[in-house]
Amino acid sequence: MTMRSVEEKERVCVTGAGGYVASWLVKFLLLKGYMVHGTSDEKNAHLKKLENASENLQLFKADLLDYEGLCAAIAGCTGVFHVACPVPVGSVPNPEARFQVDLIEPAVVGTRNVLDACLKAKAKKVVVVSSIAAVGLNPNWPKNQVMDENCWSDKEACKATKNFYSLAKTMAETEALEYAEKGELDIVTVCPSIVIGPMLQPTINASSLLLLALLTDGHKTVEDTDRPLVDVRDVAEALMLVYEKPEAKGRYICTSYQIKMQALAHKLKGIFPNYSYSKSFTEDDYEANLSSERLQKLGWKYRPLEEILRDAVMNYEEKGILHKA
């Protein structure tokens, strides 16, 4: 009886399984009884400690540019979550020369390789993680109009402002949705905003630096920018939701809160009063006017901001990234 129930479990693949969002997705999939294949580098010890990992998690060493490796990881899977993507911390070194190799190739060619491998494996559904970087850089979008799924970052504007991450994400998501138009694969894309919250992986990811900087850079002046935020666990739940709901089609923006940096620092200080918060903020009139209404209509819900901030800071303290103030 036990063998039969294991055989009947659905098998899915998560690319970049050791990353920030993907680690939480793997955790939730295992808890729900899925058999999980993960592509990952050597930084995956934390995945092996997850509940049900010893029986139901299989890790594969496969680069996004390694088509055969991806085929091996995706073989036998009915669903695939393509989460892996390079995220630069700071500016890209030698941007004019390097962005093609560092960002565009892994994002665009990598996405194509994953989708080709999904087609070969006859996967029933693919969820591709994009980003609001593929939504928000659009100078032609009417200023007071909410940015919804119809809004795309302008590729020429990305190049002009040397925003190569936005360019890579826009090109990769376009590639995925154009692939879907062929009708051979059921592909859904999800565009999370700035992802914060507790980390499962050992190394600090780029988006977590946003909160860490506010908590530790007391002497620095911070731009009072309007930031769209979402909890990492809510993103993982959104990815599972669009995978499991047959009616989920096309593109979904995944964001929960919009808050200015000064207001965010004030909120953090209300929960954790003893950290070295920035005291100087410069004006910034940019407004992140994004809507996740389409995802919420599908049934997605998100955590309270106070809970997200508390869980994140306590997690940083537990990991020794922050020393309790």
Does residue 99 register a pLDDT over 70? no
Count how many residues are written for the chain.
325
Q: What are phi and psi of 203, to 5 degrees?
A: -100, 150
d(CA 57, CA 141): 43
* 52 Rama sector, left if φ>0, alpha if ψ -120 to 50, beta otherwise: left
294-to-4, 173, 191, 227, 288 alpha-carbon distances in Å: 38, 18, 12, 20, 17
pLDDT digits (tens, 9 = 90+) for 195-217: 999 999 998 998 999 999 888 87
Among 212, 203, 213, 207, which Cα is nearest to 194's?
A: 207
Mean pLDDT of 160-171: 91
pTM, 2 dp:
0.93
Does residue 3 register a pLDDT over 90? no
d(CA 324, CA 287): 33
Contact 211, 199 (CB under 8 A): no
Cβ atoms < 10 Å from Cβ of 85:
23
Judged by DSSP in three states, 153 sits in: coil
Does residue 154 register a pLDDT over 50? yes
pLDDT digits (tens, 9 = 90+) for 178-196: 999 999 999 999 999 999 9
DSSP letters spanning 138-150: -TTS-TTS-B-TT
d(CA 292, CA 238): 11
What's residue 94's pLDDT? 59
In the residue annotation, 169 being an active-site residue is answered as: yes
Mean pLDDT of 225-235: 96
What's residue 216's pLDDT? 85
Please tell me which residue in 120, 124, 155, 169 is annotated as part of the active site.
169
Q: How many CA atoms lie within 13 A of 239 on its CB side?
A: 31
What is the amino acid identity at position 139?
P
Does residue 5 register a pLDDT over 60? no
Does residue 101 register a pLDDT over 80? no
All domains in the chain, ordered by first residue: 11-196+230-255+289-303 (3.40.50.720)
Does residue 288 register a pLDDT over 90? no
